[in-house]
Amino acid sequence: MNYGKVGVLMSDTRVLPQSHKYAVCAPEDTPIKDFYKGIYDEVFVFFHPFIKPISIGYDLFEPGTYPGKNDIIKKCEMITWKQFLSISETESYNQLDIGLRTRIMGLRKQYANEEISKRIQNACEQFQLIAPMEGFFPEFLMNKVLLSIKQEGHDWVWSGDEFCTERKLEYIDDLIKDNTAFRNQRLNLFTHNNEILLTTHWDSHFSLLCSDKNTINKIVDFADLEGFFCNDETKIYWSLQNTSLN
C-alpha cells in the first residue's frame, strides 16, 4: 500500500469497472435474459454453421491461410446444424453443442462426450466440412445480419473486444466489404443507442442476438438464422441444462 501526498491510502491493484451490459456477452453462471434485464427484452441464440468448400481448397482452412469472410460466402456452401445432425447421425442440438465443446476441450471431464466429438470429426473428414470456430462471428451469416441491422435504420455499429475495454465505431458498409472483418476476435457489435447487440462467447460456437422481439424476428427471418429464443433459465452452457431443443 502507498500513501498519496495528502496521506490518502493508495492501492497498487487496479480493478476494472464493471462492463456495460449492453456491450458484452452474458457471463456463464447467470441466466442470459436475467443478465440483460432492463436493457434487452429478448435474446436469440443462433448457431454458427459448418462450412463446405466448393471452389476453394479444403486444406486452406488453417490459421495461416484461413480464407476471408467474402471468399467463404462466394466459394463455399453453408451447412446448418440441422443438416449436420443428419450427416453425423447426432441426435440433438444439445449433443452437437456438447460435442463441439468437447473437441476444443471446453468442458470438464464429467460433462464432455468424446463419442460425439469423434462423430463430428469423422463426419467433417468424410464430407470435407469445416467445423465452426469458437469465439468468432460466423462468416457465412455476418453480411446478411449486418444488412438486416442496416434495414433497421443503423448505418454505424460499435465493435468491441471481449469486455469492451476497447471499442471502435464502424460503418456497416465497410464491414460488409471487408474480407478480413471478424477474424481478429471482435466479439461484440452494438448499435449507437444500444438497440441491438451481437455478441459471441469466447468458448462457444454460437452467438447471441439481443434486442426487442420484433427486431430479432426481422433479423432472424432476413438472415435465415438457425437457433432459439432464450427462456428465463437459459444459460451460456444451455446444452448441459435439462431442456432439450429437439
Average pLDDT, the chain: 92
CA distances from 40 to 35, 36, 209, 210 (A): 9, 6, 10, 6
Residue range 219-238, pLDDT digits in tens: 999 999 999 999 999 999 99
**C-alpha span between 200 and 158 (Å, rounded):** 15
Predicted pLDDT at 178? 93
C-alpha cell at 81: 446444424
Predicted pLDDT at 211? 98
Please state at what angle helix 81-88 crosses helix 93-103, rounded to 10 degrees. Answer: 80
Residue range 88-110, pLDDT digits in tens: 999 999 999 999 999 999 999 99
**C-alpha span between 150 and 12 (Å, rounded):** 45
Residue 33 near residue 232 (C-beta atoms within 8 A): yes
